[in-house]
Structures are given as C-alpha cells and as structure tokens.
C-alpha cells in the first residue's frame, strides 16, 4: 500500500498546484479593475483605441474569444449564472431571441443611445442589448466575368432564378454558416413564409451550388475573389457581404482603382450585432463603461476597418474606401428576431431537405 499512497499524494499535490496556477488568471477577472469581454473570434479593435478606453475608464480590458458567433452565444447561455465575463459582444438579430429568452443579459441603457439609429434598436423597451454594428449579407458578382460574357449582373432575388444566370451562384449551408442563413432569411422575407420554398426550388433548378462555409464559397468557388482566382473558382456569383468588395481592394497587393467585385444590391439581408451586460456579471460597473465605449464615436469609427461592419451611431464616419468601393444595399430585407426564433429551425430543416437532399 505504501507505494500507492506515496504516488497518490504526489499526484494530488501536483494537480492541486496545477489547478492553483491555472485559476490564478481566473481570479483576476473578479478584480474590480478588470472588465472581461466575452466575444466571438471576429472581435477586433485598434490597439490605440483600446488603450484610450483603458486610460479613460480606469479598467483593464480582458478579451475572451469563444468560438464563432453561434458558439459564443451558446456557451454564454450555458454558463449563465456563473458567466465567464462581464459583457458580451456579438449576438446578432438571428440569435437575439435565443439570448433574450434565456435571460442572458440584464438591462442597461448605454450613454449615447439616443444617437443610435432607431431601426437598429430591437430591444428599445428594455435595453437588455445595445446595437453596435450592422452589415448586409448580399450576393457579390465578379465584374470581369460579367463584362467578358457581355451579361448584366443580377440585381434582385428574382434575377438569380433566371435562366441567364444558370449554374453561376454558390451559397453556403444555411444550417452551418451565418451568411448562408442570412440569405435564406432574406429570401423568406422577400417571398413570404409560404413563397420561399418555391423560390428555392427554382434556384435549385437553376443550378445553385451549396458549400459548407463562407471561406469555401468565397475563397475557393467564387471566381472574383483573390483566393478564388488562385483556387480556380468558376462561380461568378457568391453569397457574401456588402463589405466584401472594399475588403478585396484593401487587402490587394497592389491597390486597384476599382473593386474587382460588385454587389447585387437588392439581394441583401441586414445583420445587426448587439452587446449586453451579462446577468450576474462580477464587474457590472466596468461592463457599463465598456458598453458606453462601444457606441462612442471613437470606437464606432475604428470598427469598420477592423471587423468589416458599419457603424450604427449617427454621425460616425464610414471610411472612404467603404463608400468608394462598396455600394450600399437597397432596402435590405429584415425580419423581427422573434419571428426568426420561431421559424429558423423549421425553415433550416425544410431548406436542407429541399436543397441538399
């Protein structure tokens, strides 16, 4: 028995010391001088802007990226009651109801909310979430391909089902990809609860291709993107974002005078992202200061080039590249979060059996 006791004690001590140094950084989150942001992997801010926040508010910002947008929300719901941080950023209108119904947030009306456009304020009675940014999911087209083939690029949802555009569109799986879901919801908003299935039957007959994720669709199958050109993509239409054309310009090795891609401006679905004060946050004061910061002009103007989204605060300037290379969506489709929550699972299910099987 002697040897076993020895080993058990040694290992026990080892594990305790391991967990002790492990929880070392865990406890620092409870420290009232630190505010912990839980977000998805796309969260980004300029270093200078973050330092400004820390200097002005006196809080140190700690960021916890917790997977993609859906995963981050799900994990936050699972850890409700003992949250991993104080403030959450990155729940969008397609997931908003899930977060609110689960009581993820506590109310707080951020300072400067009056400057946020009314159309973005989807919880304006209770202020459980604060709108931070928006973006439009739209079909992009390869300009060179369409001019080569002397074809007018599509503009509307209906255009995409026309024979002229047969076998040209690639989109993403609505059940695994956020732009894929956005495009489905956009079509449902445009054609109604009963009409969207017929629309997708037509799209399918017109040779729409579905891949799992945005990366694959945009950087491999689409012929207009830098990645797609390299990979030999042969689809000149792709479901992406209204901000993708400016991104093509800004990330090019040699900056072209115009964007190589364009946007089918009447195929858009609006995505709004929110932040909120987590229920049972350990540092609610710090979280409130951070929410104020998120809709400050400084952050709102810094945000577009970091996350490729548009500001929601009136008077915040959009970078020149955005307006120059990317046209704005025309009356993007929208849908109430409650309606999305009520239908999304069912729609995705019928969409899957309709389009994929």
Partner 1 sequence: MALPVAFFALFFAWPVAAIVTRGLKVDGVWQFGRIADVVGQPDVRHVLWFTTWQALASTALTLLTALPAAYVFARLDFPGKQVLRAVVTVPFVLPTVVAGSAFLALVGHHGLLDELWGVRLDTTVWAILLAHVFFNFAVVVRTVGGLWAQLDPRQEEAARMLGASPSAAWRKVTLPALAPAVAAAALMVFLFTFTSFGVVQILGGPTFSTLEVEIYRQTSEVFDLSTAAVLTLVQFAAVGAILAVHAWTVRRRETSLRLVDAGVTAHPPRGAGQWALLAGVLATIALLLVLPLAVLVRRSLDADGFGYYRALTDPDGGTFLVAPVHAVWTSLEYAATATAIAVLIGGLAAAALARRDAGRLVRGFDALLMLPLGVSAVTVGFGFLIALDEPPLDLRQSWILVPLAQALVGAPFVVRTMLPVLRAVDVRLREAAAVLGASPWRVWREVDLPLVRRALLVAAGFAFAVSLGEFGATVFIARPDNPTLPVAVARLLSRPGDLNYGQAMALSTILMVVCAAALLILERLRTDRTGEF
Which positions touch partner 1 (CB under 8 A)? 1-4, 6-8, 11, 16, 18-19, 21-23, 25-26, 29, 41, 44, 47, 64-65, 67, 70-71, 74-75, 77-79, 82, 84, 98, 173, 175-176, 210-213, 215, 218-221, 225-227, 230-233, 251, 345, 348-349, 353, 356-357
Q: Decide if 168 contacts 237 (C-beta within 8 A).
A: yes
- In whole angstroms, the minimum distance from the beta carbon of 345 to partner 1 comes to 6
Of residues 7 and 342, the one with the C-beta less far from partner 1: 7
Q: Decide if 309 contacts 49 (C-beta within 8 A).
A: no
* Residue 154 Cα to chain centre, angstroms: 25
Instruction: Report CA-CA distances (Å) from 118 to 121, 124, 186, 313.
Output: 5, 8, 21, 10
- In whole angstroms, the minimum distance from the beta carbon of 87 to partner 1 comes to 16
Identify which of 74, 133, 134, 120 has the alpha carbon closest to the alpha carbon of residue 98.
74
Of residues 190 and 348, the one with the C-beta less far from partner 1: 348
- In whole angstroms, the minimum distance from the beta carbon of 152 to partner 1 comes to 27
Torsion 196-201-204-205 (CA) sign: negative
Of residues 244 and 334, the one with the C-beta less far from partner 1: 244
Of residues 187 and 219, the one with the C-beta less far from partner 1: 219
Q: Decide if 59 contacts 289 (C-beta within 8 A).
A: yes
- In whole angstroms, the minimum distance from the beta carbon of 24 to partner 1 comes to 8
Identify which of 245, 232, 237 has the alpha carbon closest to the alpha carbon of residue 206.
237
3-state SS, residue 156: strand
Of residues 175 and 301, the one with the C-beta less far from partner 1: 175
Of residues 189 and 210, the one with the C-beta less far from partner 1: 210
Paired strand residues for 87 = 37, 277
- In whole angstroms, the minimum distance from the beta carbon of 14 to partner 1 comes to 8
- In whole angstroms, the minimum distance from the beta carbon of 125 to partner 1 comes to 25
């Amino acid at each position: 028995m002697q040897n076993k006791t020895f080993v058990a004690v040694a290992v026990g001590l080892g594990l305790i010391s391991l967990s002790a140094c492990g929880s070392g950084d865990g406890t620092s989150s409870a420290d009232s001088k630190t505010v912990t942001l839980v977000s998805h992997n796309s969260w980004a801010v300029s270093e200078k802007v973050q330092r400004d926040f820390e200097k002005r508010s006196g809080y140190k910002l700690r960021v916890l990226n917790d997977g993609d947008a859906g995963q981050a929300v799900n994990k936050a719901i699972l850890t409700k009651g003992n949250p991993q941080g104080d403030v959450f950023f990155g729940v969008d209108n397609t997931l908003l109801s899930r977060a609110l119904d689960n009581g993820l947030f506590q109310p707080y009306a951020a300072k400067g909310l009056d400057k946020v456009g009314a159309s973005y304020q989807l919880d304006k009675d209770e202020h459980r979430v604060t709108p931070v940014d928006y973006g439009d999911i739209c079909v992009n087209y390869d300009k060179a391909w369409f001019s080569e083939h002397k074809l007018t690029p599509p503009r509307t949802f209906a255009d995409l089902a026309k024979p002229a555009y047969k076998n040209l569109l690639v989109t993403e799986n609505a059940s695994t990809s956020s732009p894929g879901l956005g495009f489905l919801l956009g079509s449902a908003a445009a054609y109604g609860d009963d009409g969207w299935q017929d629309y997708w039957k037509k799209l399918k007959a017109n040779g729409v291709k579905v891949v799992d994720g945005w990366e694959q669709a945009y950087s491999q199958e689409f012929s207009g993107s830098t990645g797609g050109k390299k990979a030999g993509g042969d689809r000149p239409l792709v479901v992406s974002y209204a901000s993708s054309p400016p991104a093509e310009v800004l990330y090019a090795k040699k900056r072209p005078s115009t964007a190589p891609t364009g946007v089918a401006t009447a195929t858009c679905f609006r995505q709004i992202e929110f932040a909120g004060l987590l229920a049972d946050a350990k540092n609610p004061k710090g979280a409130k200061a951070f929410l104020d910061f998120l809709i400050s002009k400084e952050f709102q103007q810094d945000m577009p080039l970091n996350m490729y989204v548009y500001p929601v605060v009136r008077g915040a300037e959009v970078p020149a590249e955005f307006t120059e290379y990317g046209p704005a969506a025309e009356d993007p489709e929208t849908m109430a979060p409650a309606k999305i929550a009520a239908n999304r699972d069912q729609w995705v299910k019928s969409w899957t059996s309709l389009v994929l099987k």
